[in-house]
Amino acid sequence: MSLQPPLEGLADYRLRERTRIVLALADFRKEWQQTVKGRSLLKVESPVGLLLNDIADRLELTLQERHVVLGGKLINEVDSLMEERVSKRLPL
């Protein structure tokens, strides 16, 4: 058992929820490692907004939590990008 105190703001999480968060983030890292095929994750360039959105997805944040984490502007930008990607894939 760790003697390190929980991060401020996370003290209200039960251990089970903290474990879920840690495992979700670990899976996210592993997915990135597979994507870059063993290259260093420190050398990967990626849009930070999409990265934050992916983290919010992994943590299964509510709409209110997503708004706090991402902010309204970024949510709108991500939504627009996703709509654009879907419309490009749909046959005319």
User: What are the structural domain ranges in the chain?
Assistant: 15-89
Are the C-beta atoms of 28 and 55 separated by less than 8 Å? Answer: yes
Please, which pLDDT band fits residue 1 given cuts at 50, 70 and 90?
very low
Q: Give tens-digit pLDDT for 16-49.
A: 888 989 999 999 999 999 999 989 999 999 999 9
What does the alpha-carbon distance between residue 31 and residue 37 come to, in Å, rounded to a whole number?
10
